[in-house]
Amino acid sequence: MSKKEEKKKQSEEEVKEIDEAVEQEKTVEEQPQKTELELAQEKAEDFENKYLRAIAETQNIQRRSNEERQTLQRYRSQDLAKKILPSLDNLERALQVEGLTDDVKKGLEMVQESLLQALKEEGIEVVETENFDHNLHMAVQTLPADEDHPADTIAEVFQKGYKLHDRLLRPAMVIVYN
Amino acid sequence: MSKKEEKKKQSEEEVKEIDEAVEQEKTVEEQPQKTELELAQEKAEDFENKYLRAIAETQNIQRRSNEERQTLQRYRSQDLAKKILPSLDNLERALQVEGLTDDVKKGLEMVQESLLQALKEEGIEVVETENFDHNLHMAVQTLPADEDHPADTIAEVFQKGYKLHDRLLRPAMVIVYN
């Protein structure tokens, strides 16, 4: 082999070696890197979606929690108020007893007024009984309507009804012309 | 330049070209790929952390929301109960009026019992007044303690105290030996 040929061969071998090195680099690093990149990109996308869903979920929970708290606050006195209504009925009955002294009557009225005031401050009020409304009143008896008493006029209130804001605690028991 | 030298130079140039090609490949593909991978990995890690924080935050919000709801439920009757206490005081005063007929007395007692029952069902009870406790009682007057009346014995209850579960709604007003 001439020196020239040797040199050429040497050069070719060098090129081959370098080609192999490049090829090897592609095999060992570049190809897996591409897959690794894809995996990393998928992972990133996956966690981004999970993150966005978690954020949305958190906002939903906060919104529901606020709504629930507002409702709880708004109707918090409902149970105690309902349980107090029979006491108010008893007071009204006591006030109708004949022969009460002025002192007793005054005392009973004070209790009644302070109870109604306490309830009013918490949003509880006596149901209106101007005209019959089946959403607010329960007809326990009917009377025949006539010219002076048109249908759906309330003749008498047996027992007062009460509502808490927009919620009916109990309907008014009424006698109604029909 | 001899042919040898030319060949050597050629070979060197080839090697250099290949080196440059490899270097270029590193710059154009391998280097940016590595950066892209790193970026994707960083992004994945970033969103994973954000996701985990969001999950933890959601759990915190749910826990706090549950605690808050339980507290609201537990003490929901506090405001109405406090406002009802003066009515109970008025009832007690009315019951102490002399010359009440049996009917009136019975009526007043019924109102009183039904009110106390309603309050009890909501967790409100009269504060015990066995022995003086500055957490539950307010001394409005003191009497000198003696052998029959040791210090911190309650002589008289002026006005009843009430508590809702563990919360004091108002202290009992007492006269205490001291």
Which of A101, A99, A96 has its CA nearest to residue A112?
A96
Which residues of B are less than 8 Å from A29 in CB distance?
Answer: 30
- Residue B173: phi and psi, rounded to 5, are -90, 120
The pLDDT of residue A1 is above 60: no
Chain A contact present for B35, CB below 8 A: no
Burial B71-102 (b: 16+ CB within 10 A, else e): eeeebbbbbbbebbbebbebbeebbeeeebee
> What does the pLDDT average to over B67-76?
95
Which residue is associated with the tokens 């709801």?
B69
Q: Identify the pLDDT of residue A57.
A: 93
* pLDDT score at A26: 53
pLDDT of B96? 87
Judge whether B5 is closer than 8 Å to chain A, CB to CB: no
Hey, are the CB atoms on B110 and A90 less than 8 Å from each other?
A: yes
Among B7, B61, B115, the residue with its CB nearest the CB of A8 is: B7
Tell me what the mean pLDDT of segment B136-151 comes to.
95
Whether residue B102 is predicted with pLDDT greater than 90 in this model: the reply is no
List the beta bridge partners of residue A163.
A125, A168
- pLDDT of res. A120: 97
The mean-pLDDT minimum among A42-46, B107-111, B113-117 falls in B107-111
pLDDT tens string B14-60? 666 666 665 555 555 555 556 888 999 999 999 999 999 999 999 99
Is the predicted pLDDT of residue B64 greater than 70, yes or no? yes
User: Strand runs (DSSP E) across A32-121, as ranges?
Assistant: none
Which of B14, B47, B107 minimises the CB distance to A94?
B107
Measured CA to CA in angstroms, residue A83 lies from A17, A66, B120 at distances of: 95, 28, 10
Note the pLDDT tens digit of each residue in B80-94. 999 999 999 989 988
Counting Cα atoms < 13 Å in the Cβ hemisphere of A161 gives: 25
> Does B164 reach chain A within 8 Å, measured CB to CB?
no
| Any B CB within 8 A of A70 CB | no
According to the model, what pLDDT value does residue A98 have? 83
Query: Which of A31, A46, A71, A83 to mutate: most B Cβ within 10 Å?
Result: A83
pLDDT at B54: 94
Q: Does B158 touch chain A (CB under 8 A)?
A: no
Whole-structure pTM over 0.90, yes or no?
A: no
Percentage of chain B beyond pLDDT 90 is 66
The whole-angstrom separation of Cα B45 and Cα A6 is: 54
Residues of B in contact with A8 (CB under 8 A): 7, 11
Residue B122 to residue A80, Cβ atoms within 8 A:
yes
What mean pLDDT comes out for the span A63-92? 94
What DSSP character marks residue B29?
Answer: I
**ipTM for this prediction:** 0.73
Query: Is residue A159 within 8 Å of A172, Cβ to Cβ?
Result: yes
Please indicate if any CB of chain B lies within 8 Å of the CB of A119.
Answer: yes
Express each pLDDT in A104-135 by its tens digit.
888 889 999 999 999 999 999 999 999 999 99
